[in-house]
Amino acid sequence: MRVRLGVALLVVFLLVSRLLWLEADPWPRLDWSSGIWTDEGFYTYNARNAVLFGAARLDGFNNANLMPLLDLAQRLVFGTFGVHLVAARSLSVVASLLALLFFGDALRRGFGEKTALTGLALLGTDVFFWGYSRLALMELPATLVHCAAFWCLSLGSAGGLFAAGLLAAATLAFKATYAIFLPVPLLAIGWARRKQVLPYATGALVGLALYGALWGIPHRAEIAHMTNFYRTRQSQPRSVAEAGRCVSYALFGSQRNAKRYMVHCLETQAPVVTTVGLVGLFGLGWRRRRRDLLWRVLVVWAALGIGSLALTRYIPTRYLLLFLPALVGLAAVTLGRLPALWRLWRLRPRRRLLGLGIPLFFLLDHLLASVLTPSVGAGAAEWLAAGASLALVAFVTVRCLWQSELSTRTAPVLVALALMLNVGFVLHWAATRTYTLRDTSRTLGKLLPPSAVVIGEAAPLCLENRLRGIPVFYPGLANDKSPLQTFQPQYLMVTRVAARLRYWNKNAPQVLTPANELVSFPLGVERLVLYKIPPEALP
């Protein structure tokens, strides 16, 4: 009876926390990047154009190149329900709920109902998974494809393996970086079930062939241009030394402006899932029994995801969804095996040092760094936290030798702690929610004539109006060459950021004057300024 009540309450929370106040702004602590405020407009840009103006491509920015299937879904939703924030975000809401169903059932098939419920609760309430399930970004639909492929693997049949390969290839049509899942089942299956590699590989090849023939090859030039921009400007380290710094920041950094503090984000906002998941990754090891295929998939999935992001120069928190389901799966399985794992550690001290010491060090290091930073500064705090954490880890790993058994209540307490933290974050957002994006977009629509063309950072503010906003990405992505001459806009929207002000002062020096400033809008930690473009400023 208690289990049924708990499941019912969980389902109610998952639905209410996603569907209620869907027009509200994202939780400000969800990410350090301004992408949670701006990128919804960019990623729905072509679908909005197709529905409102009759053509998806009206200028040089065509994000549908990178997400053709998601773009089709957006056009269908906008064409049916209209163009607005709720319609745009509803796709991510549906994707998150379907992803949870696939993920939970896969865990049930592989590890039992108790583990499935634990994983469902941890992933469904996770602050990152919940937060991005309410935003019209690319990550949640792509995560749905990952979870569906994981579920197909849990079927254990040739048809399931083929479908998993097909879905893994389909990630290219949602978000190219999610194609990192393609080799995961190959590595996991190839270890103990070499004969079953063929169905998965066949499905993957068929999927890649379909994507290439129907989309990739016909649009190869534009896709190559956009992916090269994002790769060289945002992701790829420019030297071996910079790659080393990226790994260091990702694992140990705690400064918000470093933009690469992956583990710090996880440990400070999802400490239980992250720590227990890493315990499973390092402590349970690479299991070789036939029935542990799903476990090996989770291990490879998490390891490849963490490793690839650690080598990336730019890691907004939405990128964590690339491996978050795998980390949650590892945590759910590990929580069910904690007593047995504890006994194993007493017999194998090296395994204890690896499985307990490393995750505990990361947890203590980042929590202490967060506490110390306001007092001594980020640099000193990181060194002090690392030293104190090493001492505490040494004490704990030796101390656990003295305790022969681990209480059976440990796992339920950890799950309860994770749920309390996650629900607390959601309640904090609900109590302090704002509607800046919605209200600003509507105000802009009332302020300007319906036929107005706004250039610059205007696209994010157009989901609640019918204006034509033309985004400008520089240097070299889209619409950055002579934008005033090319598009003849009447208004310019500029973010008060040094690099962007320099660009517009160079390309529109007669516009950025106090006399032309009409109004300014807050947008997260930044501020957008709307300027009227005088006729003499247009070439």
DSSP string, 88-120: HHHHHHHHHHHHHHHHHHHHHHHH-HHHHHHHH
Q: Which two tokens stand for residue 236?
A: 């790829």
User: Does residue 492 sit in the same domain as residue 456?
Assistant: yes
DSSP character at residue 30: G
Structural domain includes residue 50: no
The answer to whether residue 84 scores a pLDDT higher than 90 is yes
* Separation between Cα atoms, residue 528 and residue 212, nearest integer Å: 40
Q: Are residues 159 and 281 in the same domain?
A: yes
Domain boundary (399, 432, 465) is at: 432
Give pLDDT, residue 410.
81
Mean pLDDT of 463-474: 90
Contact indicator for 140, 98 with CB cutoff of 8 Å = no
| Torsion angles phi and psi, residue 26, rounded to 5 | -65, 160
Q: How many CA atoms lie within 13 A of 210 on its CB side?
A: 17
The confidence score (pLDDT) of residue 287 equals 58
**53, part of any domain:** no
Q: Looking at 107-121, 134-148, 230-244, 391-405, which range is the least confident one?
A: 391-405
Same domain, 263 and 339: yes
Which of residues 415, 432, 449 is at a domain's end? 432
pLDDT of 257: 46
Q: In this structure, is residue 49 part of a structural domain?
A: no
Cβ proximity of 518 and 446 under 8 Å:
no
Two structure tokens written together for 493: 């929207």
39, part of any domain: no
My answer on whether 5 and 107 are in the same domain is yes
Pairing of strands 491-495, 468-471: unpaired
Say whether both 98 and 247 belong to one domain: yes
**437/441 Cα distance (integer angstroms):** 6
Q: Is 407 found in the same domain as 459? A: no
Reference 303, options 318, 319, 282; nearest CA is 282
Residue 290, pLDDT > 60, answer no
Tens digits of per-residue pLDDT, 227-266?
Answer: 988 888 888 888 888 888 888 888 887 665 445 578 878 8
Least confident of 8-17, 291-300, 369-378: 369-378
Could you say which of 416, 432, 448 is where a domain stops?
432
What is the per-residue pLDDT for 399? 64
Average pLDDT over the chain reads: 87
Q: Are 271 and 343 in a shared domain?
A: yes
Cis peptide before 271 (omega within 30 of 0): no
The reply to whether 479 falls in a domain is yes
Same domain, 376 and 508: no
Q: 107-111, 364-368, 392-396, 406-410: which has the highest mean pLDDT?
A: 107-111
Can you tell me the mean pLDDT for 451-473? 88
Is 386 inside any structural domain? yes
Closest-CA residue to 462 (of 488, 483, 438, 490)? 438
Q: What letter would DSSP give residue 231?
A: I
Lowest model confidence (mean pLDDT) among 204-213, 216-225, 400-409, 508-517: 400-409
Domain assignment present for residue 149? The answer is yes
**Within a domain: residue 75?**
no
The structural domain count of the chain equals 2
- Same domain membership, residue 398 and residue 277: yes
Q: Is 281 found in the same domain as 219? A: yes
Burial of 520 (0-12, 13-18, 19+ CB in 10 A): middle
Name the residue range of residue 530's domain: 436-537
- Residue 509 is predicted with a pLDDT of 85
Question: Please, are residues 438 and 465 in contact by the beta-carbon 8 Å criterion?
Answer: no
